[in-house]
Amino acid sequence: MLSVFRGLQRRAKAPARGGDFATDQLQRGALAPRARLGRDHRGHATVKTDLYRLVYYSRNTVMGLEEEVRTTVDQILATSQRNNAAAGVTGALMFTDGLFAQVLEGQQAAIETVFERIQLDDQHSEVRLLSFGPTDVRVFPT
């Protein structure tokens, strides 16, 4: 599972139309709201941002028949989407064979609040942080 998420964190290639990646992403609105363009020591465009990405996995503690588990996971997803949208957090949630894996993107404080709520949730056990750090671009903008 870890290798799947490593692939998500690779930087995208420069846009085909010849512009630099940072400028293109800022113009498309894919960067954090307070993103600022800058230049590195070689003169290449860079982005300074308050955007963070967190990746974790956990064990699902929900037990029952397949349909009951599916209904509970659907409810978890709906609640997560509502809470995360209110906090300005985007991402993706995977559920398979009793495991959750999730990517969260947003402001550092919002990500930390969401992750703390996940760690305290009885529906998760053995929560393992895979990565957490600043990022230039949202992989999951909505």
Per-domain boundaries in the chain: 2-48, 51-134
pLDDT in tens, 64-94: 888 988 898 899 889 989 999 999 999 999 9
Q: What is the pLDDT of residues 7-56, one digit of tens each?
A: 333 333 334 444 454 455 555 555 444 555 666 667 777 656 689 999 99
DSSP SS3 for 49 = coil
pTM, full prediction: 0.65
**pLDDT confidence band for 115 (50 / 70 / 90):** very high
Distance, in Å, from the CA atom of 27 to the CA atom of 137, rounded to the nearest integer, reads 12
Cα angle for residues 108, 109, 111 (degrees, 5° grid): 65
Q: Does domain 51-134 have CATH number 3.30.70.270?
A: no
User: What is the average pLDDT score of the chain?
Assistant: 77
